[in-house]
Amino acid sequence: MKHLLKLADLTSEEIFGILNLADQLKYEREHNIEHPHLKGKKLGMIFQKSSTRTRVSFEVGMTELGGSALFLSDRDLQIGRGEPIKDTIRVLSRYLDGIMIRTFAQKDVEELAEYGSIPIINGLTDYCHPCQVLADLMTIREYKGGFKGLKLCFIGDGNNMANSLIVGGIKMGMEVAIACPDNYRPDAEICKWASENGKLTVTSDIMAAAQGADAVYTDVWASMGQESEKAEREKVFRGYCVDNKVMAVAKPDAIVLHCLPAHRGEEITEEVFESHAKEIFDEAENRLHAQKAVLVKLLKH
């Protein structure tokens, strides 16, 4: 494993390896056992979109591993003034040991990997969010003890989260059910791959998707970069909401997950959110542990 560009690039064994190391790092942190695996290493973090969790968990993660992180906003970098990404990465490769980038186009992340000579980590694109799903898988395993025989349901936009959940869920052997409006389905190639490699259902019927689910996941109706579509999306997605009726058809012990930030009263009700807050905030915490595991796998030589 040289980069983390998308989960599809990883084998199931590599994902299990990350999850196992993440569990170990979480245990060590809880028991005040230091783990300076990345002493002296430097991570650049390029942000072309907002972030709370990704930014703070990567920065704290690098500090806890004995290294350091630089926050690089595109408002300050020359990228914002048009310097090509392939030039930027050839320069940054001379200074840094790794790059985490949050941006719009997946091809920009792939270009960094092509032209740079250091590991590249995808911190979210319009296409996928692999770091989030590693934390989600870690959380599902914590609560359910494994993945075998589980049904993972996602309700909402067939966006970056849905794409990565399908890949991660299928690679871990779960059944995946997506409920989304017809014109907002997940990536067609990902769906094709998933149907050939496991059990995937894509439907506009929320109740059918949630039926018997072990984990119910949702995300915002309008993602970053889709602000101008907000009003239209509010109409289309009305009803794509994780509420008590949805939870009543899921398994009685089903967990609820949300990548956050959440819009209560849109994709999830206040009541469902707060009654599953423990899982949702464990999931947010697990971003730290899962990403530290990724950093160790990629940056430690």
Enumerate residues 236-265 that contact ligand NVA by CB under 6 A. 259
Q: How far is CA 189 from the centre of its chain?
A: 19
Q: Is it true that the peptide bond before 261 is cis, omega within 30 degrees of 0?
A: yes
Residue 129 annotated to the active site:
yes
164 neighbors 226 (Cβ within 8 angstroms) = no
Q: Which residues fall within 8 angstroms of residue 135, CB to CB, at 6 or more apart?
A: 283, 284, 286, 287, 289, 290, 291
Residue number with CB closer to ligand NVA (92 or 241): 241
| CB crowding 282-291: b at 16 or more within 10 Å, else e | bbbbbbbbbb
Out of 11, 12, 20, 52, the residue judged to bind ligand CP by CB under 6 A: 52
Enumerate residues 180-219 that contact ligand NVA by CB under 6 A. 219
Task: Map residues 79-118 to x or -, x wherever contact with ligand CP holds by CB under 6 A.
Answer: ----------------------------------------
186 neighbors 192 (Cβ within 8 angstroms) = no
- Tell which residue, 132, 137, 104, has the closest CA to residue 223: 104
Residue 219 annotated to the active site:
yes
Residue 35 annotated to the active site:
no
Out of 139, 160, 164, 218, the residue judged to bind ligand NVA by CB under 6 A: 160
Residue 259 annotated to the active site:
yes
- Tell which residue, 175, 178, 239, has the closest CA to residue 208: 178
Q: Which of 97, 157, 214, 219 is catalytic?
A: 219
Quote the least distance from Cβ 203 to ligand NVA, whole Å.
20
What spatial distance separates the first Cα and last Cα of the chain, rounded to whole Å?
Answer: 12
Task: Map residues 120-139 to x or -, x wherever contact with ligand NVA holds by CB under 6 A.
Answer: ----x---------------
Residue 301 annotated to the active site:
no
Report the partner that residue 52 touches, choosing among ligand NVA, ligand CP, none (CB closer than 5 to 8 A by kind). ligand CP
Residue number with CB closer to ligand CP (128 or 177): 128
Out of 1, 24, 29, 51, the residue judged to bind ligand CP by CB under 6 A: 51
Residue number with CB closer to ligand NVA (216 or 296): 216
Told to check if 220 binds ligand NVA by CB under 6 A, we report: yes
Give the interface with ligand NVA as residue ranges (CB under 6 A): 124, 159-161, 219-220, 223-224, 259
Question: Among all residues, which ones are annotated catalytic?
Answer: 102, 129, 132, 219, 259, 287
